[in-house]
C-alpha cells in the first residue's frame, strides 16, 4: 500500500515540469517540454523552427510525462482505496514495453478500454459477427474513444488512427508480427504510440501535422546546437524516466530478501515523499493532465 502512495511513478509524474529548455538562439523561443502547456510552447516556437532531434526529444518527454502523470494518480487511488478497504484493479501495466498496438491497449488505461469493450464493442456484436461488421464495430469504438477525450478533430484523428492500426494488426499484419523479432516490433510500437501522442497533445490538427513534419525533417534541419543542448541537459532525467517506465525496478525488488526490501522501504519512501513535496512546492500551478478530459 505504501508503494501506491509514494511510488516512483508519482515522484516522476511531473517529469516534464522539470525539463526546461533554455536556448541561446533567437531562431525559436524557449521550449518547455513535458508540461501541461505543450500546446502553447509549440505555438510560441513553431514546428518549422524545430529540428528533428528537438522534436523527438519533445515527444519522448511528453510520452513519459503522460504515463507518469496518469499512472501515478491511478496508483495513488489504488493505495487510498486499500486504506479504506477497497481493492481497485490495475489501470496500467507497463504499456511502453508493449510489442504491438494491440498489446499497448491491453496495458494502457485498462479501465477505459474495458468500459468501451463491455458497453460498446460487445453490445454491437463484438467479434462474433462477420469481418466487415467487426471492422465497423472497431471503427465505432475508436471514434467514440477519440470523442470521449474531446470534441476536436485531433482527437477524432487520434481515435481513428488507433482504430485503423488495430484493424490492420488483426486482419493484415497478424502473422507477420509473429515472425518479426520482438525488439523490432517493440521499437515500432513505441514510434507509433509517440506519433499518436502528437495528435493527442496538440491544440489542433494543424499543429499536430506540423509537429510530425518536424519529427521527420520538415522543420529546422536534423540537428543544431540548440537541439544538442536540449538533449544533453535533460538526458539523465529522460533515462531515469525510461527505466522507471519498465518493470526493471520490480524485478530487482523481487530478487531481494523481504527483510532487505522492508528496510529499504523504511529508508527510501519517506525521502521520496519529502522530495515530492519539495518539487510540488517549488512548482507553479500545474494541474493533472487528464483534468482536460
Catalytic residues: 149
Distance separating alpha carbons of residues 73 and 11, to the nearest angstrom: 11
To the nearest 10°, report the CA torsion of 70, 76, 77, 82: 150
**Which three three-digit cell numbers place residue 80?**
487510498
d(CA 183, CA 146): 29
Give Cβ neighbours of residue 256 (< 8 Å, ≥ 6 apart): 264
The conformation of residue 126, written as its DSSP 8-state character, comes to: T
If you search the block for the grid coordinates 509473429, which residue do you land on?
178
Residues 6+ apart with CB under 8 A from 254: none
Per DSSP, the chain holds a count of helices (H) and strands (E) of 15, 2
Phi, psi (degrees; rounded to nearest 5) at 21: -110, 110
Short-list 44, 59, 35, 22, CA closest to 190: 59
Q: Which of 213, 102, 203, 217 is nearest to 155 (CA)?
A: 203
Nearest in space to 42 (alpha carbons), one of 229, 205, 242: 205
Amino acid at each position: 500500500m505504501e508503494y501506491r502512495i509514494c511510488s516512483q511513478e508519482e515522484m516522476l509524474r511531473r517529469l516534464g515540469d522539470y525539463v526546461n529548455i533554455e536556448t541561446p538562439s533567437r531562431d525559436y523561443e524557449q521550449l518547455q517540454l513535458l508540461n501541461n502547456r505543450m500546446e502553447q510552447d509549440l505555438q510560441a516556437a513553431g514546428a518549422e523552427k524545430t529540428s528533428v532531434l528537438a522534436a523527438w526529444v519533445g515527444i519522448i518527454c511528453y510520452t513519459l510525462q503522460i504515463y507518469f502523470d496518469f499512472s501515478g494518480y491511478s496508483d495513488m487511488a489504488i493505495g487510498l482505496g486499500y486504506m479504506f478497504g477497497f481493492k481497485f484493479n490495475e489501470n496500467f501495466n507497463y504499456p511502453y514495453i508493449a510489442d504491438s498496438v494491440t498489446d499497448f491497449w491491453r496495458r494502457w488505461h485498462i479501465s477505459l478500454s474495458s468500459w468501451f469493450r463491455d458497453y460498446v464493442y460487445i453490445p454491437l456484436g463484438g467479434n462474433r459477427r462477420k469481418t466487415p461488421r467487426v471492422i465497423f464495430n472497431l471503427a465505432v469504438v475508436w471514434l467514440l474513444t477519440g470523442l470521449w477525450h474531446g470534441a476536436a478533430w485531433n482527437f477524432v484523428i487520434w481515435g481513428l488512427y488507433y482504430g485503423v492500426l488495430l484493424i490492420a494488426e488483426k486482419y493484415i499484419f497478424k502473422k507477420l508480427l509473429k515472425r518479426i523479432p520482438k525488439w523490432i516490433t517493440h521499437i515500432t510500437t513505441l514510434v507509433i504510440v509517440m506519433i499518436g501522442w502528437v495528435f493527442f497533445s496538440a491544440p489542433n490538427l494543424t499543429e499536430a501535422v506540423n509537429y510530425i513534419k518536424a519529427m521527420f525533417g520538415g522543420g529546422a534541419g536534423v540537428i543544431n546546437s540548440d537541439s544538442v543542448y536540449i538533449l544533453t541537459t535533460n538526458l539523465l532525467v529522460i533515462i531515469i524516466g525510461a527505466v522507471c517506465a519498465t518493470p526493471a525496478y520490480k524485478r530487482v525488488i523481487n530478487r531481494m530478501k523481504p527483510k532487505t526490501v522492508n528496510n529499504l522501504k523504511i529508508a527510501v519512501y519517506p525521502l521520496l515523499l519529502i522530495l515530492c513535496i519539495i518539487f510540488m512546492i517549488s512548482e507553479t500551478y500545474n494541474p493533472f493532465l487528464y483534468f482536460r478530459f
